[in-house]
Each structure stands twice: as C-alpha cells, then as structure tokens.
Structure 1
C-alpha cells in the first residue's frame, strides 16, 4: 500500500528523520474499517468516467506536476498491434489538435521544461503515463498545459508521414534493448509469466510489426483504449485547487466513450503446480544468478486498516529476512554476492514468494543451499526478539521522517501515489493518517505473530520454478543439478539462529571536547563560520528547506595523487576496502544493527586529487553522524575475512563482465583518450584484484584520515545553531590534527592530442555506439564554466532535433562536459551516440555538421532561450535544497571562487549571449584535437543484418 509513498520520501530526503512535534492523539483503530481518502487530496469523477486527483502542494514553489494516466498498455494489443501501445505514446509528441509536430516540445522547452529530464512518458503492460511538469509563474502556462493533456487524451493527429518518421526512432529504441538480456528474455519470460499473455506482449513490441503496421492499425488502438472511463488526470503543485478543478472539467468533460467499448480485461497468470528448472546462458550476460519462484497468487488491495496492518507485517518480515541473508554475504567463502527472499508482486494483480541470489565464485549450489535453508530456518524457528525490535525501530523511523517532511514533500512524490491509487487501488489516507496507523499498529505486532506469518508465507512444499541465468561457460549447472540442489537443501536440518549481544551505542563516552575559538558571519548567505581549537573550521547554514535533513561535506587537497604509480591500486580501492570491513569495532552488519532507528551515514575516502568526506542525517541524529565521522579518524577495523570476501566479489563481478561489449567499449575509450597512462581511470581485470594489499591500503587510508588538518566542514539543514555548537566542539574539535601534506600532486595525466580514431568490435547484435571526446587546456573561471555548459546544452538540443527527430537515426544519447582547474585548467566534452552500424558514418557526419553550424552561426535565439529557461527553473528549485548549497560552498572552497555567486546565477544566465556560445564552440570543439571510438558488432554479418526478433524488455523506456 502506501509503504511505497514512504519509501519515495525516504529516498528524496536522504537519511533524514526527527519528530519535531507529536501528532494529535486519535481513537482506537477499527481493523475492518475502510481506509478513507485523506483530506489532502480532492478525488472526483466526471460523468464520462474520468477520475481526477487535485492537491495543492508548495514544494517546489511555482511548479505544477500534471499526469495523464491511461489504463491501457501493451497487454491490450491485438496481434497486429504488438508494440503500438508504446508507439501511440511516441506519437503524442508528434502533433495534435492544437500543436503541430515538434511545436509542443519546442514550446515546453521555451518555458523551461526539459525534454526527457522533465517532460516524459512511459508505457508498461497495463498502463501508459504522461508526465508534464509546468512552471506556474505565468498563468497561461497552466492553461496551456491542460490543453496539452486534453490533446494527449483525444486529439493526437497520427499524421501518416509523422508515423513513418517515428518508426525509425522506435526501432532505434528497440535496437538499444538488444543484447544478452533480450536473447535470454525470450526464453525466460514464458516461464516467469507461466505462459500467460504477459510473455507475449512486451511493451517494446515486435520489429516486423513496428516496421510494417498500417497507420490505421495504430489509430485503432488509440480509439479503442484512450477513453475517459480508463483515464485519470493528476494535478499536484502550486495551484489553486478550485481553479484546477475548473480546468479539468473544462478540458475533459467533452471526452466521450465509444458507443460499444471493448471490455478492459486483465490478463490472468495461471498458478504453477509442477516443479521445473530452466538454465539460460549467454556469452554476453553480465552475471550469474539463481531464482526460485514459488506459485503465483492473485492479490487485491482490500482497502481496510487490517490490510494496512498486514502490509506492515510483510515489511517487517522482509526486513528481518533480508538482514539474515546479508550477513551470509559477509562470511568467508560467502555462498553468494547478494540475495533476497520475500513476497513480491509480479504484476499489480499477482504476487509470489521468491528467493534469488547473485552468484559468486562458488557457483549455484551453495547459493541455493543458503536460500532454501535460511527460508526454512525462518519458517521452522522464526525470528528473535532483537531482530523484530530493530526492524520496528527502522520502520517507525521511516514513517516519522515522512510525517516530519509532510509539508516539504515534492509534488512528484504525491503524484506517483495517486497514480498507484488509480491503477492498483493503493490507499491514499495521507501521511497524518498513516503515521497514526503506524504508531498504533506497530507496537502491537508480536514476535509470535511474525513467526506465524513466516510459517504461513514461506512455502514449505510446492511447485516452483528454479531458474539459472548467467555467462556461457563450462561450469554452468544443468537443470537436473539445480533441482537436486534444491532437494538436498530442503532435506538438510536447520537449527535456530543465535544472535550475539551488541553495544547499545557507537561510543561508550564522548571524546574530550575542544572549543570554538573564533566566529564570523556572512549575513548575505546566512552562514556562520567557526574555527575550533584544533584548527578545524566549520561553515554552518541552518535552513528550513526540509524539516528533517542535515547534509555534511568536507574536502581538502591530497587524495590519490600523493601516492606513486605502484600504489595506485591500493590507493584507489582503499576507501572501499576500509568501508567493507566496518567502522572501529563494528562490522558493517553490526553497525547497521547498532544504528537501528537512526538516520545517519558518513563516507570518507580518497579522490583523485582530494580527500573527501560526505554525510547526512536527520535533525535528531546529528550527533550520531558526528560520532560516525569521529570514529573514521579513530582507527581502521582490520578484518582479513571481510577483505578477502570483498576482493573475491569484485574479481567475480569483473570476470562476469569482461565479455560485455559495453565494458570493452568503455575500456577502449579510456585507453585511447589517455594512451594507457597508469593513472587513467579504468576497470580492473579479475586477476588484478589479487594484487591489492590489505595492509598497504589501510596504511594509505590512515595517512590521509588520521589527521583533520586543513579540513573545513560544511553543514546545511534543519538544525538549531545553538544546540549544534557543543556537538561540533565535542566531535570535530577533538579530531586529531597532526601535520600531513595538504596539497595535491600533478601526476602528469593528460589526454592525447591530435585526432585519434579507434574501432572496437564486440557483441553479436547489429548495434553500434559512437564516442567523441574533445579535450584540451582551458582557463578556468565561473563565467567560462557557464559558457561551456551552455554549449553542451545547445549541442544536446541539436542532437535531438537533427539526429533523432529529422534523421531518426538515434533514440538516446547526447553530450556532457566540464571545465576544471585541478590539477590544471582543462576541459572535456564527451558525446555518446548509440545507433545502427549502417548509420555510423552518417551520424558522425551529421554531428560534425552541427558543430560546424554552431561555430559558424552560433545558436539561434530560441535555442539559447530554452537553455536559459530550463536553467533558471532548475536553479530556483535547487536554491531550496540543502545539497545544492553544500555543493556550491564546497566547490567555492576547492576552486577558490566566490560563494556568493550562488545568488547571482539568474543574472549570469540572463547575460549569456549567442556570441558567447559561438565563441565557446570555436574554442572547445577543436576538430583537430579529439578522440573518436566506435563500437561495432564483432562480425560484418551482424553489422549488415536486420534483426527480426522482438526486444525482450519488460517495460519500454520513456519514449517521448
């Protein structure tokens, strides 16, 4: 149910939680009472059957999130329409009653709505969803946005020429899905979906249909299924609800249902009664895995408080079992790389109990034994009181955080919840009601109840599918071996699980505190600058952006650059190795247990030229975050078993991925760009992980993180400045600060000069990728950063307009770029373009033609205005984000720029001219100095072939 809503908020708010005030008390809950629709949202239905949801929400300011949701996806396609539900979605952006082809996207870009990043859509089995975020600073934007939604609902043009042009784009999207997962999926999906229609209606469709369908066939799907009784309009954001309701009624009341509507039926998935095994391998698979899927069962949302409580029980069960499986992955000779076991949804209307594992070097048999036996251990012997208490603490904290942030939650999060209500009947009582439910229900969930749930839920003996997927190699198991491993594991007796006692907290006592010795203020930026008695500095920015979030950052020069080439592996992996062994006296899993109910985390490590620290916490957990930070400087927990487990896992991952075309391509690009320099970033070969030295890695880490010399800690978020000062003095003021080097070393890493061209042949599918990298020295400044960024964005507009929309030779791809001053002033612009082998030369020529146009004429006024509008919209939103402030303050320190420039971004953006971008094109697109690498398929036959098989992706990527 609405657990998904909480999870979304947890991700958006990144580790934040504190109860600022307590919600009011409520009467005892009646378990069989229906869950009401919360007062935060107006839910209505028009006479034609269209449902609408309207909620006023202030975050982000001056922004409105609109959605058109259609209960129609690929499952409804006729045999001659396979792939056309998704194709309809594409056509919605290609002309309608009120917008000519390309006019819609161009208009939305002109008001700051980014194509792909903001404006988007997706098609799945049972639904199609259109996503339209709109700035509300001008009333006409909102009015026009509702016209867009209406046009999508019943006014798409389906011009024949536009359809034929779009075929190429959709076929390029299909091409992107080709590869190992596609080939393996053709064998897997019929078994996963038990021979149901879902296996035959993958949203991307069939290539022969996409190439050859008649336009009328596409229009027929639209007429049949785009109708008001299958639609919902979602309106959430900075808008007057009464006005929004008027606009919904004005634009959607006129929609009519067909006189004889086709019945909207949902495909049934038959239950499995027999046990069978399936082994599917491919030379280009990215890894090995096993899945045990137990019988599929229908599920319906009951919509009662009792059903809500059942979901809480299911969540607690999943958390406890996941913790157990994670512990096994930390053992020497671990049975797998990672594993999960839970009751999960296959589709919104069906679920099944599944156990799965990503396989390590020991293969399938140990993983199957561990999965089956841990399930049996939980089923037969249940869980322990400590396990349940920790799971309850974490669950309660997540809801507490969501409740604390109820006035600061993003509109998109609410919109997603209402989409689920329409499509899946998920309850929408609102976070006030949900928090009340959790406070009353969770304490009453007993250990006996949880153990009864485990006995009831974990299948003891039933038909099952045992699936092995992986890289083609001689030691892959047979189906008979998989079934034998499951049977053997089921016969093995399991004992109850013992749990060791853990410390009650991270530290027995606080360290001897330092003092604050100096203080200054920057009123314009709202900053307080502190100097502590050990020389450590702190910048504080208390904000009201979130109610329950504190973000921390620190950096200084040094990093991997201070260690020689022979030490580069030890230096580069020191962060991950130290983290894999835990913190001070706690293993990683023990640390998670001690932190149950807390929201705090800290990462520490060596960058290429800097030592970096990052952290986040809830407002009540700042002390925990600072304790974690202090312990990072107090020593390293040496655990040879965990080190070996980490190295073995990384070697296995590298071994599995060594044959991937994308991996070979990425390595070739870096090798060509840096001419094999030993300090260049690269992926390791499996055997190279054995060269990492544990003690040397620890020594390198300790050299950099036994001293806090020259560190300035930046904290932004929901803290009280007076209350946080003693914590800063205690934990940051007591950090050791012995003398260490605090300057980076220029290691001489430079990209090649001149024009370098390489070809990589890898993969069996007719797929190519073009990589172009322009590099060189540059004078660093904030103004020049802006010019380079504008050039990249205009280039992306040209790539979409020319390579995708006009030539229909790509689906995705684009440019990125950066300007840096460390270790020397330099720039890089990278362009990545997936396409077909037959189109490589045309795509490269068209890209350079657009570069030449930019150099000769610069961008036109409309293009530059689109870039500016989007930047300003994003900047206004980001100014209300703690992470944005911390990142800007951090870059000001490391790059020596003015931190106050964050307040001048709009003026700087508005001052950009077409001449600035044209000059940047001439400066940075040096056609006498670039690296071009092209990935082509291994054989010429593949390059020349036209694949006839459908791409096996479970849901099409956003297509428009």
Structure 2
C-alpha cells in the first residue's frame, strides 16, 4: 500500500495552486464587485455544490457521494475515506493507523486471509495499480476501481467497502506476518532524505505533534505491539461518523444508494466515542533556520517557507483569490524559468508556490537547487526576484499572458467535460469530506472562472505577494551533502543576505516579446500522392509527394485532443563514439532553443494560450518528433514541425546553460548508493561503452554546439523516410490541408538509411556483482537474464503471461509467505531490432540478513515454473486482466499512437491489435511453461546486490 507523503516539499513536487485565501472584503476592488453584481455572481456568495452528485448521511453518521459518469464505460471507482490517520495515535500506537490499513487487505469478514486480493485479481483488478490504499497524518483512504457490468462483482465490490469500513478480522497470525512486510516498507524508505527529515521536521511543524507522528510509525511499535492494541484502535476509530464512501462511474446512483443503506446502516456506533481532536500547528510569530547535511545527499537545496493561517475556499471571493494566487505564482515562475535558461544560470532549478500545508496552515514556498559552491548566488537571485515584484510589480504583458493561459485551460477542461475520467472526480469529493473543500460542477467551475478572470487586476495580483511574502513565520531550510557543510551559511548570514537585497538598487523586469511570426515565409505546398484504407482499425495510410508517409486515425475518445508522432530510421547509431555525445544532446538542445524567427524566451511567450506542443528527439535507432494539439492549435503545431525540419537553432546561451547545469548535477552523484549500484551493473553488462554508462564531465566537455546542430540537420535533412502518425479528434477534411501545406513541403532527398547494429549486448554468461555503498542496513537485489529472442505475436503474449504469473508468485512467496519484502515484480522486455533480444529481471529490497534466502526463493520459483508451468488460476488472472485492460486501452488515443508507431517501426501488421484476443485465447499452462524453459537460463543469470558499506568489513 502506498503511504501519503507526510511532507510536500515544494522542491520535490510539481507546482499546483489549489488553495485560496479569503482576504477581508476591502481587498476586492470596487470595479470588480460591480462587475460581479451585474453578472449575478456575488463575491461573498457560497460556492455551489456539484448537483450531479447524490449525497447523503445515514442515521449512524456514515456519509456517501455517488456520481454517474460513463468515462470509462462499464467501470466504477470506489473510495472509502476515514478521518483517521497517524495524528490520533499515542506513543504506544505509533504506526498503527498505517498497520491497520495493511490489515484490511489481510482478512475481512467476507474475504478471509488473502482472499480479497485473490478474488479481485480473478476479476481483472490489479493489486497495487487498481486496488490500493494510503495512510496520512489525518486520514486513511482505500481505493477500488472495478468493472461495473458484472452485477455480482459490483455487489461484492460494495461488500469490500463495507468490510473495510468496520469488519477487518485482525487475526493474530496475520498481524504477526504483516510486521515484517511493514518493516521492509519502512526500511525501503530509509536514506538521506529520511535522515534529514528526522532533523528538520520538528522545525518545519513548529515543534508540534506532527513531527512525532510519521505515518510509517516506529520499529519498536511495529515489531512489538500486542494484537489487542490494534483491535482497540480499530474499534475506537473505524466508525461510521468518521467515514464516507465515494462512488463514481457507470452505475445507477439509485441502486448504489440503496445498497449503501442496506450495507452500512447497521454499522456499530460507539456509545462513548473517542473525541476526534483536530490538531493544529501554532504560528510562532518568529523566523526559524535549520541547515541539515547528509553524506548521501547529491545536491544542495535552499527553501524559504512562510507560513500563514489556512483560510478555506468557501465563497466566490475566495475562489477569485485562488485565481490571483495562480496568476502570481505563474508570472514569478516564468521569470525564474528565464533565469535558469541563461548561459550562466544562477541555480539548477528554482520556483515558488502558494500551497496547503497541514495542521491548519498554508504557506508560500520558494526553493532553488544550488549549483555546487554557489548557494549565495542562488539564494540571492531567488529573493531578488521576489523583491523585484514587491518594488515594481509585473508588466501588463506578463499579466495578460497569465490570464490568457488560465482562460485557455478553463476552456479546454470545459470542452472535455463529458470525456472526463471517473477517477478525476474523486479527489474533489475526498477533499470535500475530509477538509470541507469546494466541490464545483464542471459547468459551475467553467462559468465562475470565465466570469471572474476579466475582473482580476494587476494591482490585486501584486498584493498577493505583499500578503504572503513577509518577514515573519518564515523558515529557511537548507539540505546539502556533508561535503558542503563548511560552505553553508548560518542564520546570521541568511539574515544579512535578506538585508543586503533590501538595500540593492534593483531595476524593473523587461518583458521582451517579439512581434515576428514563427516562420519567415510560408512553405511551398505539396500534394497527397496516394491513399490506402486499413479498415479493420479505422486508419488511413497516405503517401505525400515528397515521400512522407502519414497514418491517420480519427477518434472520438476526446473532444479536442490530437496526438502527433514522427520517426525515421538512423538515430545516434549512425555516428561514431567521438560524435555520440553531440548526437545524443542534439535533440534536447534544439528543443530547448527557439525555432524559426523566435528565440527560446520569445517562443515560450508566443506559445502562451496555444494548446500545441512539438518536441524533436534523436534516439539510438530513430529520430523524430512528438507532440499534441487541439484543433485551434493545429496550424501552430504544423508550423513548429516545419520549423524544426527547416529552421532549427541551438542558441549559445541555451547550450552553455544546459551543459553547465548538467555538469553541476554530476558533482555529488557518487554520494548516492543507488547511482553507484546502477553504474556498477551497467559496467558489468556493457563494459566502458559511452553509449550505456552514465556520462561524466569529460563526456560533457566533448559536446560541441556546432557539431550537435550539424548532426541534427543531417538527421532531419530528408523527410522522405519519415512516417507521421496522427491520432485524435480530427476529420480527414480538417487535417489534409495541413498535410499538404506543411508535411508535403518538407525537404526530400530520397536517401535510404537503416539504423546500425552497435553490437552492444550483454555477455552470455551471467555473474554476481556485489556493491558496498550506503549507511543504511538494507540490501537491494536485482536478478536478471538476457539473451536472443524469437520476436512474434505468439512468443510475445506468452512472455507477457510469464511476466504476470511470475510477479504474482514472487509477491505471494517473498511478501506474504516469507514477510521478507514490501514489493517486487518480474519485468520482461523484448525487442525485434537490431536483432531479437529479451531481458527478464526481478528486483526487491530487504534486510541484509535475508537477501540470500530471498534470492534462493526467487530462483526456486524460476525452477517451479519451468518444471510445472503456472497454475491455471494464475494464468486465468492474467487473461482476465489483459481483457479488462484492453477494453479501456482501445478507447485511449495514447494506446493507438503507441500501437501504430510500434507496428510501423517493427514492420508488423498495423491491424495486429485486432488479433490480440485470439492470441490471448491460445495461451496455456504448457505454452507459458515452454517459454519459461526457453528463456530462463541459469547460466545467463546475473545477480546485482547492493549492501551497506559496513557489510564489506564483516
């Protein structure tokens, strides 16, 4: 089961701005108030609740949310939310909320022992991917997406939710078995970040209870608590007044409601329920500082966290302020992004966010990843940009672009509202139940956003910073490698840097925008030379006048999504080792620069509000482009394609900036045990090949700006051997003009190329490689086999079956039977070119004293499947899972893109996917046993083992 990350550090997570702050009423300017009143949208009115949701509360306090949604068809997603997490634990219970989450998969009233997972797998539900749960500080949440077209399965799915709510068996034998599994989960999370978190967490949460209530718990409690303790915890907290069921999918809401009433109305109600205290983090009204180092940390991070009391999004005015926060952070992040793209970037990465914290707080978080030895420069640059906004605000052009971007996102979401996946609704209703957050309908969100955006003013957006960027309740947190300890600033130095910037003579930001069109001139139009129907899959193959091949697959899976992929044979395989680094960086350098008449910054601003993206690449065996667009952005997308073929550029600033950041990121990577382990494995398999080992500074020094551009132009000089695959919401009539005007106009020389076989194959005889690196007492193991492969549909589907049944058996044995691991799976890959090859690997983490026995168990499972094949039950699980996943995949643009590209590159039947169910039906115990015997070769077995440094001394 996954664990909710206890600390959302901004430098580790993508930026999202969902949290709003309710200013006092005077913060809304009079003109905006007037506009809102005229549109019958009062700023202080409560946000409307989604009327498409059926809600209710049973007499015992149990709540529910039910929404009918038919994307995907014949599927339903169910979530059980419990307002109980690790924060309610006392010292002797530390970790029991999370332990209890595990136990809900190890024996329920109607699904004893491990029958729950077994039953659902037989229905095609994937353990870990579909069936899952997490435990946080304040809540525990269980998820179950299942098919809804089987009445018995739907009924039993609801029974699972009911059993999760209150009917865990909590047998002593199962509790004792689970101790080891949770210990391995705990062990797997140990490392530099965990050790540093243990030091800075108390500061970050202002010394509150949260610092001592990490959901994973403590080893002492996990291994030593008496079973009666967790049973009492379950009785105290798993009760209807703290629970809610969320059901979204292709179901009859009236039936679901009747079943909820039938199943959940009889839940036990405690006569004297424990009070569910809502724990808060107090503001200290002072600033704090902490610097933490660790010998395994690979980079230095500086973070400024300014805490504020959380204020909920309840009204239209609150929502409007959320929009302004979004605009504010978007504009500052754009400025920081420009700085990071300069020839001498002040930091490797940097950004800000205004986000939810926990314990009743929210915060403004500004972070940067420092270049080695340049912490002061990165810190001052970050603060300088925040101060620049305080003094000079933003430009009107920046503001207008941010509004355009938000408006485009709002329009795009609205256009796709009837194609919205059921899973995407769940978070809103979870947040409503757990945190009393807003739950707007798609219509209301669209209309309110559309009406509010024109009322936002630049002055108000600047005021967001004035509210959040203050010199109080501010934490400065530094995380760094041990080797940087002597170079880090202390608190007095940090305070001085803040004052130094206060006294600097800053200048206003200059927003450089180009009025030039992307292309200097229109392409010379070509024609469509031939067309061929591939009726089985609703696809058409076109050949253009310059030799370009185009595969078109119009779909209705999305209302306005078009995917584009182009490829041709060659890639870096055609270049010498001396040119390899320039060749391999060429695509990234081109993609990071401008194109046509626009440099990189001008291009980014030009693309604001356009739903179009195209990225060139050069891989080992192919070069090409990948992109996406909506109908409105198609012209821009095809202009970009034409530009990347005919007018590419590598800007000197971009080249220098990317290479310098790459070099900076190498500085401390050898501190990381996992990097050292991975590099040693690659070295064992491929010797010193520059094409397989991680590159270092000497290799980066060999990247030539001029040569990279030359190689790129060589790869894209001839479009005649390119195949373009276009999938999505278009008609032939709509797309053909773009094919003629842009793709048929691409340069063509008619050359014939094939990718080169580099003969970089793993040695036939396996070996054992042990790496000693790291402080933590844990072992990582990877068992692998490589060899030649017979690539065809029959062999492929049997190898897929082998992968699945091996994964099932290894998880059952190593985790459930031996309690030696938290998770594992078999991974099998195969390819046709440059020649048929396969790889089979199994990876897991465990304790140092168990890894040898677990390797033996893994190899024993290899022997068993070779001797007996899989069980029919495990094979049936594979077949039903494949069928159920195919039902979903066939209605995804991305799936069809992948299928068409793969079939084209491998010279396979483009309509081959239509035969998959037939191929699947031919998989038998014997056929899987045969591929197991053919490819599981003991003499080819590699064992890669990572042990702590202390183990080498024993």
Same fold (TM over 0.5): yes
Please tell me whether residue 908 in structure 1 is matched to residue 915 in structure 2: no
Please tell me whether residue 238 in structure 1 is matched to residue 260 in structure 2: no
More moved, 481-490 vs 662-671? 481-490
8 Å Cα contact 1:548-1:718 kept in structure 2:
yes
Mapped to 2, the partners of 1:275 and 1:493 lie a distance apart of 26
Please tell me whether residue 379 in structure 1 is matched to residue 382 in structure 2: no
Count of equivalent residues: 922
Please tell me whether residue 456 in structure 1 is matched to residue 459 in structure 2: no
Which residue pairs with 2:658 in the alignment?
646
8 Å Cα contact 1:785-1:818 kept in structure 2:
no
Please tell me whether residue 601 in structure 1 is matched to residue 582 in structure 2: no
Which residue pairs with 1:473 in the alignment?
483
8 Å Cα contact 2:519-2:596 kept in structure 1:
no
Query: Match of 2:145, SS?
Result: strand
Please tell me whether residue 894 in structure 1 is matched to residue 905 in structure 2: yes
More moved, 156-165 vs 565-574? 565-574
Shift in Å, 1:325: 1.1
Mapped to 1, the partners of 2:601 and 2:220 lie a distance apart of 51
Please tell me whether residue 391 in structure 1 is matched to residue 422 in structure 2: no
Query: Match of 1:619, SS?
Result: coil
Mapped to 2, the partners of 1:504 and 1:864 lie a distance apart of 61
User: Superposed, which structure 2 residues align to 1:43-58 within 5 Å?
Assistant: 43-58=55-70
Structure 2 unaligned runs (5+)? 1-12, 19-37
Which residue pairs with 1:767 in the alignment?
778
Query: Match of 1:658, SS?
Result: helix
Which residue pairs with 1:142 in the alignment?
154
8 Å Cα contact 1:534-1:736 kept in structure 2:
yes
Query: Match of 2:65, SS?
Result: strand
Which residue pairs with 1:290 in the alignment?
302
Query: CA, structure 1 residues 464+327, in 2 after alignment: closer, same or farther (shift >3 Å)?
Result: same
Please tell me whether residue 123 in structure 1 is matched to residue 135 in structure 2: yes
Please tell me whether residue 706 in structure 1 is matched to residue 711 in structure 2: no
Find the partner of 1:800 among 790, 794, 811. Answer: 811
Please tell me whether residue 277 in structure 1 is matched to residue 297 in structure 2: no
Query: CA, structure 1 residues 425+583, in 2 after alignment: closer, same or farther (shift >3 Å)?
Result: farther
**Which whole-Å deviations, capped at 9, do the CAs of 1:223-254 have from their partners, x for residues lacking one?**
11111111110000111111111111111111
**Which whole-Å deviations, capped at 9, do the CAs of 1:402-436 have from their partners, x for residues lacking one?**
11111111111111221111112221121111110
Shift in Å, 1:508: 5.3
Shift in Å, 1:533: 1.4
Find the partner of 1:204 among 194, 216, 224. Answer: 216
Which residue pairs with 1:721 in the alignment?
732
Which residue pairs with 2:32 in the alignment?
none
8 Å Cα contact 2:17-2:353 kept in structure 1:
no
More moved, 751-760 vs 268-277? 268-277
Which residue pairs with 2:880 in the alignment?
869
**Which whole-Å deviations, capped at 9, do the CAs of 1:432-483 have from their partners, x for residues lacking one?**
1111011111011122222233333322x32422111111114531314333
Please tell me whether residue 313 in structure 1 is matched to residue 328 in structure 2: no
Query: CA, structure 1 residues 508+247, in 2 after alignment: closer, same or farther (shift >3 Å)?
Result: farther
Query: Match of 1:185, SS?
Result: helix
Which residue pairs with 2:701 in the alignment?
690
Query: CA, structure 1 residues 588+302, in 2 after alignment: closer, same or farther (shift >3 Å)?
Result: same
Which residue pairs with 1:782 in the alignment?
793
Please tell me whether residue 328 in structure 1 is matched to residue 339 in structure 2: yes
Mapped to 2, the partners of 1:79 and 1:528 lie a distance apart of 66
8 Å Cα contact 1:504-1:594 kept in structure 2:
no
Find the partner of 1:880 among 877, 883, 891. Answer: 891
Find the partner of 1:182 among 180, 191, 194. Answer: 194
Query: Match of 2:109, SS?
Result: coil
Please tell me whether residue 354 in structure 1 is matched to residue 365 in structure 2: yes
Which residue pairs with 1:65 in the alignment?
77
8 Å Cα contact 2:518-2:595 kept in structure 1:
no
Query: Match of 1:255, SS?
Result: coil
**Which whole-Å deviations, capped at 9, do the CAs of 1:149-198 have from their partners, x for residues lacking one?**
01110000110110010000000000001110111111110011111111
User: Superposed, which structure 2 residues align to 1:416-455 within 5 Å?
Assistant: 416-455=427-466
More moved, 691-700 vs 407-416? 691-700
Query: CA, structure 1 residues 678+497, in 2 after alignment: closer, same or farther (shift >3 Å)?
Result: closer
8 Å Cα contact 1:542-1:717 kept in structure 2:
yes
Please tell me whether residue 38 in structure 1 is matched to residue 47 in structure 2: no
Query: CA, structure 1 residues 938+215, in 2 after alignment: closer, same or farther (shift >3 Å)?
Result: same
Which residue pairs with 1:88 in the alignment?
100
Shift in Å, 1:270: 1.6
Tell me the C-alpha RMSD between the 2 structures: 2.0
Mapped to 2, the partners of 1:511 and 1:915 lie a distance apart of 58
Query: Match of 2:613, SS?
Result: strand
Query: Match of 2:536, SS?
Result: coil
Please tell me whether residue 613 in structure 1 is matched to residue 625 in structure 2: yes
Mapped to 2, the partners of 1:283 and 1:526 lie a distance apart of 57
Query: CA, structure 1 residues 117+186, in 2 after alignment: closer, same or farther (shift >3 Å)?
Result: same
**Which whole-Å deviations, capped at 9, do the CAs of 1:515-544 have from their partners, x for residues lacking one?**
112222222211122221111121111110
Find the partner of 1:363 among 351, 374, 377. Answer: 374
Mapped to 1, the partners of 2:189 and 2:298 lie a distance apart of 14
Query: Match of 1:620, SS?
Result: coil
Query: Match of 2:902, SS?
Result: helix
8 Å Cα contact 2:298-2:667 kept in structure 1:
no
8 Å Cα contact 2:62-2:242 kept in structure 1:
yes
Shift in Å, 1:348: 6.9
Query: Match of 2:668, SS?
Result: helix
Please tell me whether residue 666 in structure 1 is matched to residue 682 in structure 2: no
**Which whole-Å deviations, capped at 9, do the CAs of 1:573-628 have from their partners, x for residues lacking one?**
22222223333333333222101111111121111111232111123212211111
More moved, 424-433 vs 843-852? 424-433
Query: CA, structure 1 residues 266+84, in 2 after alignment: closer, same or farther (shift >3 Å)?
Result: same
Runs of 4+ off more than 6 Å: 4-9
Shift in Å, 1:670: 1.1
Shift in Å, 1:941: 8.2
Please tell me whether residue 250 in structure 1 is matched to residue 258 in structure 2: no
8 Å Cα contact 1:558-1:741 kept in structure 2:
no
Please tell me whether residue 342 in structure 1 is matched to residue 353 in structure 2: yes
Which residue pairs with 2:802 in the alignment?
791
8 Å Cα contact 1:368-1:486 kept in structure 2:
no
Shift in Å, 1:747: 1.1
Please tell me whether residue 163 in structure 1 is matched to residue 179 in structure 2: no
Shift in Å, 1:675: 3.0
8 Å Cα contact 1:368-1:489 kept in structure 2:
no
Which residue pairs with 2:25 in the alignment?
none
8 Å Cα contact 2:87-2:213 kept in structure 1:
yes
Query: CA, structure 1 residues 300+448, in 2 after alignment: closer, same or farther (shift >3 Å)?
Result: closer
Query: Match of 1:819, SS?
Result: strand
Query: CA, structure 1 residues 664+819, in 2 after alignment: closer, same or farther (shift >3 Å)?
Result: same
Mapped to 2, the partners of 1:795 and 1:491 lie a distance apart of 65
Please tell me whether residue 855 in structure 1 is matched to residue 872 in structure 2: no
Query: Match of 1:473, SS?
Result: helix
